[in-house]
Amino acid sequence: MPEKVAYIWEIVTDKNYTGKGIANHLIKYITEKYQDFTIYSCIDLTNIASLKLHEKNGFHTLYEFEKRHDDGSISYHNMMVREGK
């Protein structure tokens, strides 16, 4: 396990502001501020824009998993990681 670890819980952009680069600026801020940290982020596999955003900013897939919900539904996720310098 890396010595310095950070987690991105969620990045949410209001629908009125999508496509304006806000999420990209947030990811860049986080990766620059925590450049010595290994950063993990869990993304729903249906969120293609977020997956591409993370890849664009140096994240790669660590593993994929499924989550079973109380209502019987299943969602699929991608745990992504960006290693610190």
Domain ranges of the chain: 5-82
Region 5-82: CATH code? 3.40.630.30
Helices 22-33 + 48-56 axis angle, to 10? 40
According to the model, what pLDDT value does residue 70 have?
96
How many Å is the Cα radius of gyration of the chain? 14
* pLDDT-flagged residues of the chain (< 70): none
* Distance of alpha carbon 11 from alpha carbon 29, whole angstroms: 12
According to the model, what pLDDT value does residue 2 have?
76
According to the model, what pLDDT value does residue 85 have?
79
According to the model, what pLDDT value does residue 20 have?
93
